[in-house]
Structures are given as C-alpha cells and as structure tokens.
Amino acid sequence: MAAATKVYPDATAALFDMVDGVSLMSGGFGLCGIPENSIAEIARRGVKNLHAISNNIGNSGRGLAVLLKNRQISEATCSYVGGNPDLEEQMLANEVKVNLVPQGTFAERMRAAGMGIRAFYTPTGYGTPIAEGKETREFDKPCVLEYPLRADFAIIKAQRGDTYGNLWFKETARNFSPLQAMAAGVTIAEVEELVELGEIRGEDVHLPGIFVQRIYQGANYQNTIEIPIYAGE
Amino acid sequence: MVWTKEQMADEIVGMLTDGCSLNLGIGMPTLIAERLPAERQVFIHSENGVLGVEGRPTRETISPTLINAGKESISVRSGVSYFDSATSFGIIRGGHIDFCVLGGMQVDVRGSLANWMIPGKKVTGMGGAMDLVHGAKRVIVMLTHFAKDGSGKLMARCTWPLTGVGVVHTVITELGIFSPTGTAFRVDKLADGVSADDLWLPAELLC
C-alpha cells in the first residue's frame, strides 16, 4: 500500500476494500468493546457472505447482530450463542453455518496465528463433541490438537490510539481485540481518542502499533451496558 | 427446608480459602460475589479479562467497560487487573485459579458435566466452560436439583453433550452438597430437614 500514514479520516475510508466473502474478526465481549463505527459501515456498504469471527456475533439485535439481521453473515465462528436470538434462529434454520469453539481455544487459536505457532495441544474439549475428528494425544492428561485461526480483516476498538496504531484499552474492553489484530491480514482500529505519537507512554501500550494497519477516530459511541445491575437495588 | 440461592452461595463461600482466586460462571454463581465478605481477600476472576471483581456498581460508578462474563455491570476491588482473553484463559488453563463455580444442566457420578446444549432444543454454546473445567484446581457445580420437567440433574451418566469428562469435584443443589466418586455421589452435607429420600437418586448412586 502506498499510503505513508495509517490514519484514515473515517470508517468509510478505512474499510474501502471490504468486499463480499471476506473473513472478518470483530473485537468485543458481548457489546463491550465492539467496533461500533466499523460495524455500521459494513451494514451501510451491504457486503454479503461474510464469515464473522467474534465471541458473541453481537447480542440482542445490536453489534454484529445488525449484520445478521441484514443477512450479511453466512458463517460465524464464536463461543457463545446465548443472548443472541438472531444467531440462534438463523443457526437452527441453517441460514448461517456456526462453528462453536471453546472460548479459551478461540482466543489461543488467534494468538497462535499471530505468534507463529503452528498448532497446540489443549485438554479443553477432550471427550466432548468439540474433539470429534480431531487428533488427540495423551500428556499428563488427554489433549486435543488445535490449529491457528486467521482472517482477512480484523475490526477492533480501543479507547485511545496514536498515529502509529499503538492502542490502549479501557478496563475489560480489551478482551479478544489484541489477539484478533495479530491474527488478521489487515487490522482496522477505531478509537475514541486519536492522539499524537508519544501521548501514550510506551509502558502503557497494550497492543503495539505493528499489529495495526489502519486507524481512525470513531464517533457517536453508544457503549451499551447489556445488563446494568446496581448495588442494593 | 431446602436452601435458598443465597444459602447455597453462602455454603460455597464457606468452602473458599482466604486469599484464593475464584472464577464465577454465568447465572447463579455470580451471587457469590455479592455474598463474599471483603475481609476474605478473595480475588474474583471473570474470563472476559478481569481479576478483582467485587460486587455491583452504584449509579455513579457504573461503567460500560466494567462487566463480567455474563455481561452484567460489576464493581472492582483495589488491586484489580485487566488483560486480554488469551491471558485470561492462560490464567485458567495454566492452573492458576483455585476455585471455579459453574452452572450446569446435568452432572454425573464420574464428575462429568453437560451445560451448553440440549440436542434439538437449545444451544447456548460452551463459552469458557470447557476451559474452566480443565483449568481450575477445584471445580464446583451449582445447580437446581431438579429440571423443570421434574427429572433429576444428578445422574449415572449425562445424556446431553458433555462440557468435560471427570472434571467436577463438588456439586451443590438446594438439597445438599455432593462429591462425584466415579461410581456414586458421596453426600457431604444435606440442608436441614432434607433426607436421602428427597434426592430422588437410586441407592446405588449414593454413598
């Protein structure tokens, strides 16, 4: 790519080459830390036949569930379907192919993809339907062989990012985003605050900018709390 | 008298060691966070990337980036830390969590657990449960004794797809506390006034 800078003006510019049929990792746990602007842009572009790779594929009609409602997702890789009636419905109707992956294996497969690990053994899932057809091996306990998980694109969101793509995440909003950034060919980060180099101290960088190809400042964040529960109420 | 959910949570609080690390699953187990006295110095882990969950926030302190694995708002204690999901599951799989309390749909005498799908009826997904049952030093399953159709959830062999084989150490229901031995459930404690007959388990499955 000829661009000397990673900084894009907005989601429309940053997602210019998002086309039908791509695999797409999307950060967030439930609706916490989801890339709201990039998801809205994908909905607007109307690209179809996407393979979405995200822990929950949205929740309760929000987040990636918007793309499910638009019938833009044909395959989903995730660990949890509960709380996402759109996905459950389309899965049971065979409209979306769903690959369920245990959450720790899901995270580690993306980490492995980014870190150059070709495969790994984990006890997770041994003796369950998840292990069917997979190689197993006995260590101190029986384990299942798992392979890296990659994608064409990752869309992630951080609280703060600099022009090199160094990111700082707030509280539990980090979740899968750094792993997805490592595992994807092109990572597009949106941030609430885009700052100059040096404004995030090196020690405070959660994801080094080398894993981020494009960055833009998002707008109009909803930051939905799915289940607000208050002390003493 | 059968135990209330709060009494079940208090029974589990009684099993915990001071200063331990604890992971709480979605649903009933989250009640434990609210029942746990601060002086126990327990660090509660939630797999979405936090160690140091405390209880619930106020309307002033609530934050969209402070949630547990059930996507509920939480408050955090001093000494809290946040991390990505690979580290979070490294903490779990690496054996660094002392206690884990999970919900369940079926549990059997081998200590096998089913909690993520009912064939043809319901699929929630396993989330982090398959990792948790292999990683935590002590796996506690907290569930109601009977399903809505009246069938028992403690059984000789789980009939639904498993979360893990031979992974559960302790089972708590509103009727008592049980340990799977491989061939039966050892009765560790019964709620006041509950007898073995109330468990609706064949005698050969009890010891």
| pLDDT tens-place string over residues A33-65 | 999 999 999 999 999 999 999 999 998 889 999
Q: Which of A80, A92, A124 is closest, CB to CB, to B125? A: A80
Test B67 with A108 for CB contact under 8 angstroms. no
pLDDT (mean) for B82-97: 98
From A2's Cα to the closest Cα of chain B, the distance in A is: 32
To the nearest whole number, what is the mean pLDDT of chain A? 96
What pLDDT, on the 0 to 100 scale, is given for residue A232? 86
CATH of residue B154's domain is 3.40.1080.10
> At which residue do the structure tokens 């039966």 appear?
B184
- Name the helix (H) or strand (E) containing A25: strand A23-26
The one-letter amino acid at B117: M
User: If contacts are CB pairs under 8 Å, which of residues 117-146 in chain B contact chain A?
Assistant: 123-131, 134-135
Number of domains in chain B: 1
Could you tell me what percent of chain A has a pLDDT over 90? Answer: 92
Environment class of B77 (CB within 10 Å of its CB; exposed 0-12, middle 13-18, buried 19+): middle
pLDDT (mean) for A179-207: 98
Strand partners for A97: A75
What pLDDT, on the 0 to 100 scale, is given for residue A1? 47
Domains for chain A: give ranges and CATH numbers: 20-101+150-217 (3.40.1080.10), 104-148 (no CATH)
Could you tell me what percent of chain B has a pLDDT over 90? Answer: 94
What pLDDT, on the 0 to 100 scale, is given for residue A104? 98
- Does residue B154 surpass a pLDDT of 80? yes
Q: Which of A103, A124, A175 is closest, CB to CB, to B84? A: A175
Residue B30 touches chain A, beta carbons under 8 Å: no
pLDDT (mean) for A125-134: 97
Residue B195 touches chain A, beta carbons under 8 Å: no
> At which residue do the structure tokens 């997904």 appear?
B125
- Does residue A85 surpass a pLDDT of 80? yes
Q: Name every residue whose Cβ is closer than 8 Å to that of residue B206 and which is 6 or more positions away in sequence.
A: B184, B185, B187, B196, B199
Test A111 with B124 for CB contact under 8 angstroms. no
- Between B171 and B26, where is the model more confident? B171
Handedness of CA A135, A136, A137, A143 (dihedral sign): positive
- Between A92 and A18, where is the model more confident? A18
ipTM surpassing 0.85, yes or no? yes
* Per-residue pLDDT tens digits for B99-110: 999 999 999 999
∠ Cα A228 A231 A233 (to 5°): 80
- Does residue A2 surpass a pLDDT of 80? no
The residue of chain B nearest to residue A178, with distances taken between CA atoms, is B84
